[in-house]
Structure 1
């Protein structure tokens, strides 16, 4: 029997920062290589590509930037249409929605007062509104604020909490007020 079949073939990688051997470790995002001199050296190397997308379907349309075929892909933020020439071509088809066209109006951030609230997409593809000064201001809202003056403090912006046939219930966005008020339809 050939003994070379049963010999170790493990390859040893060394840390490019300190020269210590790298070890396979498990984290919340999967397996990675970490320096054995941790916590003195914090070098990490992911074992899997973080921004992978799976091709679902080849489309007949051509990319307007490079001329290659477009593909329907599944990525970390949901389905999208992108160029088959990725990573050389970074074209992604985006359809303008009502939210993007309405985002021209500036909604001041009620938390910091310096930034504006902008529409963003979360991991599950849901739209939320957050301050454009992130990470300095981490204020977010799950729904779009509406221009509705608060009767208590006069703040111009509020969030719609409840709507019936006869009235609407709003919550003031002023963090010092937080008044709940109703308006008739």
Structure 2
């Protein structure tokens, strides 16, 4: 009579569809994944955990693209409204007021000169302003920029603080001043 262990892990090996080498279980900053054992010659990855957004509430409005209902979701970068049939339909409702303001007042990027500064949302849901040429240009500001030049250094952008004064957006200057 042979004794078999109570808990025995099934042993099956998956192979890389690119090169045929065995896949290894690895831990990354976004969780577990299978990576090719021939890395760095082969860069195949297979995530094991799906990062789906949680549905918080079903909304009465219909998706303008496919007609299914819209849902409020909690995703990686905060809450958003999107289509309930996500993999098939990729509709996401954006705040119209912010987009219209950004289109009306287009401020050119002072670093690259090619892009324009747009309002974006960070991971915690905070709004910041960054260059639309990202990742080539990484210029960003935590506050809404205005084309008010700094009287000290002459830098063309500043932002208004809560007390009504302005601050220069040049990181080397940061001069506080009143608007003329």
TM-score range, shorter chain: 0.7 to 0.9
Out of 153, 163, 167, the position equivalent to 1:170 is 167
Flag the structure with higher strand content.
Answer: 1
Q: Secondary structure at the match of 1:17?
A: coil
Give 1:39 deviation, angstroms: 2.8
Consecutive aligned runs of 4 or more in structure 1 exceeding 6 Å deviation: none
Q: Is the 8 A contact 2:152 2:175 kept in 1?
A: no
Q: Is the 8 A contact 2:158 2:166 kept in 1?
A: no
Q: Secondary structure at the match of 1:112?
A: coil
Partner of 2:139 in structure 1?
Answer: 139
Give 1:65 deviation, angstroms: 2.6
CA distance in 1, matches of 2:87, 2:80: 15
Aligned length: 178
Q: Does 1:159 align with 2:159?
A: yes
Give 1:179 deviation, angstroms: 6.1
Partner of 2:177 in structure 1?
Answer: 182
Partner of 2:121 in structure 1?
Answer: 121
| Structure 1: gaps of 5 or more residues | none
Partner of 2:77 in structure 1?
Answer: 77
Answer with 124-133 or 149-158: which moved more. Answer: 149-158
Give 1:142 deviation, angstroms: 0.7
CA distance in 2, matches of 1:4, 1:181: 72
| RMSD of Structure 2 on Structure 1 (CA) | 2.8
Q: Secondary structure at the match of 1:147?
A: coil
Encode CA deviations 1:77-130: one digit per residue, 9 max, x unaligned: 222222222222222233323x32221222122222332211111111211111
TM-score with structure 1 setting the length:
0.80
